[in-house]
A and B are shown apart, each in its own frame.
Chain A
Amino acid sequence: MNKPVADVAPAADLASLPTQQATLDRQHLLSTLQMAEFVSEGFLRFDQMVPADLCEALMAELRAGLYQTYETEGTDWDSVWPEPLAAGRIFRLPAVRGVIESLIGPHPRYDHHFPHLRTGPDNGHQGLHQDAEIDPRGSGFDIQISFFPHDIGPEHGGTLFLPGSHFRRVHNSELGRYQNVLGQVQTVCKAGTLVFWHTDLWHAGRANRTATERYMFKLRLNPMVRQYRLWNTDDLHDPVVRDQAAKILKRTQPWHGQQGRIEQMNRARLWREISGDQEFDTNMYWRRTDNAPQSQYTPVR
């Protein structure tokens, strides 16, 4: 059922949570256009965001077995991986915090993490899938962060994402029949790269054809505040920025086909929800659908 935006409720009791990002400089928050990119594509990638020394520290800790595959699920994120653990230092870098807090707000809930390791060479591609179970939420979203602590070449089989697939309600690995989709992107990157993605984005790990280890450290976080204007919204009402954001939100993917317009409508719905701009639309699709005039008119007789 399509939930109207007006029904959106906070994910937690706001009275019990800080409402200001007092300790994070505003310069680290995402811009309006970056948020539009996230809503459109379902992910944001930041190359070499994490310094090399922290990447090496995490690799050493991973090899030493310092990380379980799951910490205490549902715990306060702020208490996970205290100093001096490298993972805590990485995910609390101001630039990284800025992206997290722009997407899901301060003091999120730790859901789980998983250090994905593939020891090559192997010949098995993972099938395309959506994580967890069917996500029926009509508003809001969790994020997952994929951190690549070492260089990922084309043969390492870095995570493959299908841009723009995050509004699809599907069930986990039932996508496994799809081997190739136009527009899919396999991650090839330098050490220190982070991909922040909507948890419903379709993705897969691919075969590691090299004779070396390939790591991808994944972290899932849940919002604990309403996802409303959490980024740097100073430019939200700039008409030029608004036009540029609209173009980003109207961009279709090569695999969308006939359903591209419905994808645009779903993006517009999320944009209305997170920006508060209830007039935002793409090609009047929602305004046309929602048009049910109540004003009465009597023709002249």
Chain B
Amino acid sequence: MTTAPAVPTTNLRQKLLFLYLANTDLHAAVIAWSTFDGTSNDRPEMDDPDPPYATAVAAMRDGWRVIQVAPMQRPAAGQEFELGYLKFEVILEKLEEVSA
């Protein structure tokens, strides 16, 4: 059995961009967003007034790769008007080289 190496074997690091859209269309407007940067030790700056991209497709055109989109699910019977978390989540990534 092989085990995962304790230290990264390449200099590639992952950056994640979470975009929350107005609906399921990847052209729909971004209404919330978050970044998680594996290339940096800094905490993300929050409270930006504007999203980094207007749509998920705009982020894709800038080199971000979509790795997950929220599934479309009908509401449970009796809970059609209950709302919870932001529904239309798209997770994107970029891999970037960091200096050794």
Chain A residues in contact with chain B, CB under 8 A? 1-2, 123-125, 160, 167-170, 174-175, 177-182, 184, 186, 206, 254-259, 262-263, 265-266, 269
Contact = CB atoms under 8 A, between A and B. Distances in A.
B8 to A, nearest CB: 24
A244 to B, nearest CB: 25
A257 B83 contact: no
Contact of A178 (B30, B34, B82): B34
Nearest to A266: B81
B95 interface: no
A257 B88 contact: yes
A269 B46 CA distance: 34
B63 interface: no
Given A169-B82, A179-B33, A179-B34, A160 B47 contact: yes
Contacts of B47: 125, 160, 180, 184, 186, 206
Interface residues on B, range: 20 to 34
A209 to B, nearest CB: 11
Interface string B17-56: 0101111000011111111000000011011100100000
Given A257-B28, A258-B88, A180 B51 contact: yes
B79 A180 contact: no
Interface in B62-80: 78-80
> Among the interface residues A1, A168, A178, which one has the most CB atoms of the partner chain B within 10 A?
A178
Given A169-B83, A169-B84, A179 B78 contact: no
A182 B51 contact: yes
B44 A259 contact: no
B31 A125 contact: no
Contacts of A125: 43, 46-47
B87 interface: yes
Interface of B: 18, 20-23, 28-35, 43-44, 46-48, 51, 78-88
A125 B42 CA distance: 13
Contacts of A266: 81, 83
Contacts of B51: 180, 182
B83 A177 contact: no
15 contacts: A2-B78, A169-B84, A178-B32, A178-B86, A179-B34, A180-B33, A180-B34, A182-B31, A182-B51, A206-B47, A255-B32, A257-B88, A258-B22, A258-B87, A262-B83
B86 A2 contact: no
Given A1-B78, A269-B81, 18 more contacts: A2-B80, A2-B81, A123-B43, A125-B43, A125-B47, A170-B84, A175-B85, A179-B34, A180-B32, A180-B47, A180-B48, A181-B31, A181-B32, A181-B86, A255-B31, A257-B28, A257-B88, A258-B87
Nearest to A265: B81
Nearest to B31: A255
Contacts of A167: 83
Given A168-B85, A259-B87, A177 B31 contact: no
Contacts of A169: 82-84
Contacts of A184: 47
B48 to A, nearest CB: 5
Contacts of B22: 257-258
A236 B43 CA distance: 49
A192 to B, nearest CB: 24
Task: Give 7 nearest A-B pairs by CB, closest first.
Answer: A257-B22, A179-B34, A258-B23, A181-B32, A255-B31, A179-B46, A125-B46
